[in-house]
Chain A
Amino acid sequence: MSIIKKSYSLTFDALKKHRALLLPFVIFIAFELAALLFFYLIPRMPLRPIFGPPIRTFWSERFLHYPLNFLLLIKLASLSRMFLSVLIGSLTTAMAVFIVFDIHNKKAINVKSSFMGSLKKYAALFAIVFIFTALFYFLAKLVTVGLLKYFIAGHTKLLFLKAGLWLGPILTVLNFIIAILIQGAFIYAIPILLIEKQRLIPAIAKSFVLFKNLFLPTVILIGLPMLLYVPILVLGSNAGFLIDKVFPEFVLLVLILGAIVSSLIIDPLVVVSTTFLYLTKRGK
Chain B
Amino acid sequence: MKLRSKINLILLLVPLFFLSACANDQYSVERQYWYLQKQAGKIFQNPQGSPPGQLNAAVNRLNKFIQKHPKSSLSTDAEFNIARLYMVKEEYNKARAQLKMIEDKYTKYPDIRAEAVFLSGNSYQMENKWDSALNQYRKIMQLYPVTRRGLDVPVYIAQYYKVKHQPEKMIVAFQEAIVFYKGLAAKYPNSPLAYVTSMLAADCYGANKDWQGAINSLNTMLVDYKGKVQLDNILMNIAAVYYRELKDKTKTKETLERLLKEYPHSKYIKAATALLKELSK
Give Cα distance in the complex from A43 to B23, angstroms: 12
Whether A12 is near chain B, meaning CB under 8 Å from some CB there, is no
User: B27: which A residues are within 8 A, CB to CB?
Assistant: 43-45, 48, 65-66
Give Cα distance in the complex from A275 to B236, angstroms: 68
User: A46: which B residues are within 8 A, CB to CB?
Assistant: 17, 20
A window 43-66: CB within 8 A of B = 43-46, 48, 65-66
Closest to A40 in B: B21
Query: Is B34 a contact of A66 with CB atoms below 8 Å?
Result: yes
Give Cα distance in the complex from A46 to B19, angstroms: 10
Give Cα distance in the complex from A46 to B28, angstroms: 13
- Against A, the Cβ 8 Å flags (1 = close, 0 = not) of B19-44 are 01101010110110010000000000
Query: Is B21 a contact of A44 with CB atoms below 8 Å?
Result: yes
Query: Given A37, A41, A45, A65, which contacts B30 in the complex, CB threshold below 8 Å?
Result: A65
Whether A67 is near chain B, meaning CB under 8 Å from some CB there, is yes
User: B23: which A residues are within 8 A, CB to CB?
Assistant: 44-45
A window 141-170: CB within 8 A of B = none
Give Cα distance in the complex from A66 to B30, angstroms: 6
Give Cα distance in the complex from A280 to B167, angstroms: 87
Query: Given B21, B31, B34, which contacts A41 in the complex, CB threshold below 8 Å?
Result: B21
| B207 → A minimal CB distance (Å) | 33
Query: Is B20 a contact of A45 with CB atoms below 8 Å?
Result: yes
| A63 → B minimal CB distance (Å) | 12
Query: Is B25 a contact of A44 with CB atoms below 8 Å?
Result: yes
Give Cα distance in the complex from A37 to B18, angstroms: 9
Q: Is the interface of A mostly helix, strand, loop or mixed?
A: loop
- Against B, the Cβ 8 Å flags (1 = close, 0 = not) of A65-81 are 11100000000000000
Give Cα distance in the complex from A16 to B75, angstroms: 56
Give Cα distance in the complex from A65 to B20, angstroms: 17
Q: Is the interface of B mostly helix, strand, loop or mixed?
A: helix
Interface residues on A, range: 10 to 19
- Known contacts: A66-B30, A67-B34. The answer to whether A41 contacts B18 by CB under 8 A is yes
| A40 → B minimal CB distance (Å) | 9
Give Cα distance in the complex from A41 to B30, angstroms: 14
User: A66: which B residues are within 8 A, CB to CB?
Assistant: 27, 30-31, 34
User: B30: which A residues are within 8 A, CB to CB?
Assistant: 65-66
Query: Is A248 a contact of B25 with CB atoms below 8 Å?
Result: no
Give Cα distance in the complex from A207 to B227, angstroms: 67
User: A248: which B residues are within 8 A, CB to CB?
Assistant: 34
| A172 → B minimal CB distance (Å) | 29
- Against A, the Cβ 8 Å flags (1 = close, 0 = not) of B185-216 are 00000000000000000000000000000000
Closest to B29 in A: A66
Closest to B33 in A: A66
Query: Is B25 a contact of A45 with CB atoms below 8 Å?
Result: yes
User: B25: which A residues are within 8 A, CB to CB?
Assistant: 44-45, 48
| A257 → B minimal CB distance (Å) | 20
Give Cα distance in the complex from A41 to B28, angstroms: 11
Give Cα distance in the complex from A187 to B138, angstroms: 73
Closest to A243 in B: B34
- Against A, the Cβ 8 Å flags (1 = close, 0 = not) of B238-271 are 0000000000000000000000000000000000
Give Cα distance in the complex from A65 to B27, angstroms: 6
Give Cα distance in the complex from A37 to B21, angstroms: 11
User: A45: which B residues are within 8 A, CB to CB?
Assistant: 20-21, 23, 25, 27
Give Cα distance in the complex from A264 to B105, angstroms: 57
Closest to A249 in B: B31
Give Cα distance in the complex from A46 to B26, angstroms: 12
Closest to A248 in B: B34
| B200 → A minimal CB distance (Å) | 29
Give Cα distance in the complex from A45 to B30, angstroms: 13
| A5 → B minimal CB distance (Å) | 45
Closest to B32 in A: A66
A window 202-250: CB within 8 A of B = 248
| A112 → B minimal CB distance (Å) | 17
List the 10 closest A-B pairs by CB distance, nearest first.
A66-B30, A45-B25, A66-B31, A44-B27, A44-B21, A43-B27, A41-B21, A65-B30, A66-B34, A45-B23
Seed contacts A37-B18, A44-B20, A44-B25; 9 additional CB < 8 Å A-B pairs: A41-B18, A43-B27, A44-B28, A45-B23, A46-B17, A48-B25, A48-B27, A65-B30, A66-B27
- Could you list 26 examples of A-B contacts with CB < 8 Å? A37-B18, A41-B21, A43-B27, A44-B20, A44-B21, A44-B23, A44-B25, A44-B27, A44-B28, A45-B20, A45-B21, A45-B25, A45-B27, A46-B17, A46-B20, A48-B25, A48-B27, A65-B27, A65-B30, A66-B27, A66-B30, A66-B31, A66-B34, A67-B31, A67-B34, A248-B34
